[in-house]
Structure 1
Amino acid sequence: MNQFDKLLNEYSKLILSIGINIQKNQILAITSPIECAYFTKLLVKHAYNLGAKDVHIEWIDDELTLIKYMNAPKEAFETFPNWKVNTYEELAKEGAAFLSISGSNPELLKNVNPDLVALSNKVRSKALKNYREYLMGNNVPWCVVCAPTKDWACKVYPDLENEKAVEKLWDSIFKITRTNLENPVETWKNHLDDLKNKTDYLNSKKFKRLHFKGDGTDLVIELPSKHIWTGGGEYTKNGTYFVANIPTEEIFTLPSKKGVNGVVKSTKPLNYSGNLIDNFTLTFKDGKIIDFTAEKGYETLKKLIETDEGSCYLGEVALVPHNSPISNLNTIFYNTLFDENASCHLAFGMAYPICLEDGNNMSEQELIDAGANTSLVHVDFMIGSENLDIIGYTDENEQVQIFKNGNWALK
């Protein structure tokens, strides 16, 4: 076995044992770019070897997606197939684990009418609302990972030929996910312990608000009184431990829906639905976006913010040190999973119920009453840099320097 195949095997096992934590006789559902079929087949093989009862695959083909947008009638985007909704919901009810492989072309839909893309996104989000809430409530294990496709790799490394770009992106993925280290699984366990220690500290302080400042950002975020910081691994309702993102460097919670004020500036491009949004600013008043600018992707950003009543509010605030495996590569990956784990970030839209005490057992109205935002969307965008400072304020007005110059300042 050559070195690449060895690392690919280690990466596959890491995803299934640490990420999904596949259980004996459990169903695994995988969504994958068709270009990553060779990697997906390896995952399927390892999943069965680890005890999976069955594996379902949904293939994503960027070329077919683009062909549909460029040629199909508008009516094709006004509905979402009931059989797909039923499939997702039935698998979730059966306790399946859900694995999503990300690797699409970041600019696939740059020449597509943004109104059509926005329509399709909204219809899909409405149709899959129950399924998405099932996952966000940690009823079943789920995980998002990355694998290279040619178009994505060439966007990240435009000076390299196709094959070399894919090779380099694989090399970066192995480094980012710690797969290249001697014992990846044990290394990940230590990493998750470190994240837990930090979440325990933040939860002990019960911060009332956070002040973010640096690189065009001057933003105050109030936190609900019963907020919970979480990060690294999580537990399903039946007690199965899983890690929703590989890689993950973040510790996150939810903001109080109407408690966000000030200005925030993006520090990395946002890849949203096959379009890039770059160098954008958002102005908040009482939680709501009241003004915004964007050097690139203004219309896409506008459609995102206008998705529904909750998409112009925030649903997540996440802390990620500038000194991290992804950030230290000094590369923009044009992929939210990687870029969000290289930078502190916020999210448009829906909040995670797990970020509130007993949130998984609350109704939608109870979550709203507790300060959580609801929406059809949840889209992360990056605001962190080497110049970002974050100060936390407790109920007693104690000031705690949480981040200094982009990194953790906690003792």
Structure 2
Amino acid sequence: MTFARNLDKYAELIVRVSLNIQSGQSLWINAPILQPELVRLISSKAYKAGAKHVHIEWQDEICTQIRYLNAPDDAFNEYPTWRADALSELADNNGAYLWIDADDPELLKDVDPARISANSKAAGPKLVKWREHMSSYKMTWSIVAAPSEAWAKKVFPQLDEQAAINALWDAIFKATRVDQEDPVQIWQEHNATLRNKREQLNEKKFHKIHYRAPGTALTVQLPEHHVWRGGSATNGRGGFEFNPNIPTEEVFLSPLRQGTQGTVRSTKPLSYQGNLINNFSLTFENGRVVHYTAEEGYESLQAMIEMDEGAHYLGEIALVPHLSPISNSNLIFFNTLYDENASNHLALGRAFPTCIEGGAEMSKEQQAQAGLNDSLIHVDFMIGSAEMDIDGEHADGRIEPIFRQGNWAF
């Protein structure tokens, strides 16, 4: 009975907070085929909230794996225009998009990385308009998660299959605060806390951010008119709040494209396109990655960085206290949505236009002139730990602590 109650509260949280469905909106759910019960609950609650249409796009990771292993090479040089057009239509009409992530972290470990890279490059030009709507918050979108058998066994290898799924559900319910009596109210309060942190950072108007930790000595310069974001976002057309990620513990911004110097080392594995990349480091000069190493998944890291020129530059820096619910679980989720919210992190690739004043209304050329990066990818990777110190540097050279030993210093 407890599981059924928590699943119902999770669906309610997704509809009312993640998406904040408005009357007349259409909702597109990209859903794992193994989670029909959750999808049915979300659909029912979305219609009750006023949704006009709920479209379900079912995904089966085994079929995805079969395609990558068996389709002809030239199949990965194409992306269906009809799907790109459908997503653009959803965005043009201020629809809502939900991705329920349940992927096996190592789904494509036996696939040639060149195939995965080719597929991403084919999709990129077709999805430009769609991604611009998302990154500028001109539509509602959110990412949440639900267990799959393979993912659960990766997180809890000591348990049998069903016990691992149950344990992962429990971890998801706890991390999303669904195990509490009124998660919707709790999330409204949590969003307010994150809003307070980002407002404090915006008032400080730092010029640079300095990171220090074992294997990390990194300086990141910020754009002149930067804006810290975090927690809930505002739909640019409707003016209502939604949460692009649940869970989320971060405040973030997009750095100056050519302003990163030094070396940073990962602290958690990165699951990228069905492959694990672990214990890797990146060295930056004038914003660009000039050297990289990895103890595991080097070819996948290389394919990611060489995706395009913009993939060599940062699109995001994010601050997450070490003392946070996901970090305190002492679990490695092998899933970026969760692991990035246990750790300070960076992202290679596409920047967020909303992270500079007026950026959402700028052209691509104007965004570039303001110092924002662009790329086909946006990939977060974790760098935080209890040993990380972070300082903010003002334009006059004054230094102010932001993090000490992995946690907020103010």
Same fold, TM-score > 0.5, yes or no: yes
Q: CA offset at residue 138 of structure 1? A: 0.4
Take 2:36 and 2:107, find their aligned partners in 1: how far apart are those partners?
19
Aligned to 1:293, the other structure's residue is in SS state strand
Aligned to 2:34: 35
**Counterpart mapping for 1:176-255 below 5 A:** 176-238=175-237, 239-255=239-255
> Normalising to structure 2: TM-score of the pair?
0.99
Take 1:133 and 1:334, find their aligned partners in 2: how far apart are those partners?
28
Aligned to 1:333: 333
Question: Bigger shift: 393-402 or 170-179?
Answer: 393-402
Aligned to 2:109: 110
Runs of 4+ residues over 6 Å off in structure 1: none
Q: CA offset at residue 396 of structure 1? A: 2.4
Could you report, residue by residue, the CA deviation over 1:142-188 in whole angstroms, capped at 9, with x for unpaired residues?
10000001110011100111100000000000100001112111111
> Normalising to structure 1: TM-score of the pair?
0.99
Take 1:87 and 1:25, find their aligned partners in 2: how far apart are those partners?
18
**Counterpart mapping for 1:3-402 below 5 A:** 3-238=2-237, 239-402=239-402
Take 1:207 and 1:224, find their aligned partners in 2: how far apart are those partners?
9
Take 1:227 and 1:262, find their aligned partners in 2: how far apart are those partners?
21
Aligned to 2:342, the other structure's residue is in SS state coil
Take 2:241 and 2:187, find their aligned partners in 1: how far apart are those partners?
13
Q: CA offset at residue 13 of structure 1? A: 0.5
Q: CA offset at residue 401 of structure 1? A: 0.5
Take 1:104 and 1:36, find their aligned partners in 2: how far apart are those partners?
12
Q: CA offset at residue 35 of structure 1? A: 1.2
Aligned to 2:384, the other structure's residue is in SS state coil
What runs of 5+ residues in structure 1 fail to find an aligned partner? none
Take 1:183 and 1:96, find their aligned partners in 2: how far apart are those partners?
27
Take 2:190 and 2:183, find their aligned partners in 1: how far apart are those partners?
10
What runs of 5+ residues in structure 2 fail to find an aligned partner? none
RMSD: 0.7
Take 1:38 and 1:226, find their aligned partners in 2: how far apart are those partners?
45
Give the counterpart letter for 2:8 in structure 1. N
Take 2:337 and 2:358, find their aligned partners in 1: how far apart are those partners?
27
Q: CA offset at residue 8 of structure 1? A: 0.5
Take 2:186 and 2:90, find their aligned partners in 1: how far apart are those partners?
32
Could you report, residue by residue, the CA deviation over 1:162-221 in whole angstroms, capped at 9, with x for unpaired residues?
100000000000100001112111111111111111111100010000000002110000
Could you report, residue by residue, the CA deviation over 1:79-122 in whole angstroms, capped at 9, with x for unpaired residues?
10111111111111111111110010000000011111111122
1:141 touches 1:240 (CA, 8 Å); kept in 2? no
1:232 touches 1:249 (CA, 8 Å); kept in 2? yes
1:25 touches 1:53 (CA, 8 Å); kept in 2? yes
Give the counterpart letter for 2:229 in structure 1. T
Q: CA offset at residue 67 of structure 1? A: 0.7
Give the counterpart letter for 2:118 in structure 1. L
Q: CA offset at residue 76 of structure 1? A: 1.1
Q: CA offset at residue 130 of structure 1? A: 1.2
Give the counterpart letter for 1:249 in structure 2. E
1:268 touches 1:279 (CA, 8 Å); kept in 2? yes
1:345 touches 1:381 (CA, 8 Å); kept in 2? yes
How many correspondences in the alignment?
Answer: 409
